[in-house]
Copies of this chain bind each other. A is one copy, B any other.
Amino acid sequence: MDEYSIGVDLGGTNLRAAAVDRSGKILEKHAQSTDMTRGRDEVIDDIVSGINTVRQKIGSNSRLAGVGIGVPGFILIKKGYVTNSNNLPVLENFPLRDEIERRLGAPIILENDANAAALGEKWMGAGKDVDNLVLLTLGTGIGGGIISDGRVLHGEVGMAAELGHITIDPSGNPCGCGNYGCLEKIASATAVEAMSDLMSVGVHLTSLQVYEKAVDGDEKAKMIFRQMGWALGVGIANLINIFNYPLYLLSGGMLPAWDMFAPPMLEEIRKRSFTFRNTQTRVERATLGNQAGLIGAAYLPFLSQKL
């Protein structure tokens, strides 16, 4: 009997799910909005019904190996809890994995969304040819995922790879995490927008509007992307010096601005990492876009069976 898994990408406003076979081929897809302001029971019902929609599309001729769910926030991986998620407060500090498993009658694996994206890139994307890589997702914040020997590096409770909170500038802008000068306070879309406001590049521009200004030659907008690239360069040089992995990937909503931030980023990495200069180390764009998390989540049940 054919086997498939279901990957779920759970966001603050919508849920996407896909059935994927062992070769990584997407068999069926589904998307729905989710209203996280409703009660916990209703939200979990929504998740379960979204998964069942995909399951029914596949039918009963294939066996469901399991369901992987990518969730924004810290996951206590052994307990199957979500903790400290900005987007899913209703699901925090509750045995979410076990409850979905109970209602669905199929094995569930929860994973941080950036970890899932890193795993997706490793399975079917830019990291196909390596077993070790680091992914940074450049969105409103900066998430991270580390793949070590083909698996997600979890650390003790599943909180590894909080790469948006590497210190770049020890006396930089304060961050909600308690730190100062975190990478995501300089190189996220939110940071680009804040710098744009501070410099009056325009009136409340979005990060991509700032990018367009930079492409049009606006000197202040170009400074912002040089600063973003500088911060990414300092952070990625640190990661290269720590891991000596062959591949560092960038993804997320800021990726279209690559041609503006990548040159100063690569210059900074080259300067700051002896390892980068002396080994074959690639810093590249991820290739799966917003499918990475979905595909990585779907890979989790297959990977788990390999253990």
Contact = CB atoms under 8 A, between A and B. Distances in A.
A180 to B, nearest CB: 8
18 contacts: A84-B274, A84-B278, A146-B242, A148-B148, A148-B153, A155-B244, A156-B245, A159-B275, A159-B279, A162-B241, A162-B274, A166-B241, A166-B242, A167-B272, A169-B170, A178-B277, A179-B271, A179-B273
Given A132-B156, A166-B241, A239-B242, 20 more contacts: A84-B274, A84-B278, A153-B243, A155-B245, A155-B275, A156-B244, A159-B278, A160-B243, A160-B244, A160-B245, A162-B244, A163-B241, A163-B242, A165-B241, A167-B168, A167-B234, A168-B170, A178-B271, A178-B277, A179-B273
A158 interface: yes
Contacts of A178: 271-274, 277
Interface string A132-175: 10000000000010101000011111111111011111100000
A90 B277 CA distance: 23
A235 B178 CA distance: 15
Interface of A: 84, 132, 144, 146, 148, 153-163, 165-170, 177-180, 234, 237-239, 241-246, 271-275, 277-281
Contacts of A158: 244
Nearest to A160: B244
Contacts of A155: 132, 243-245, 275
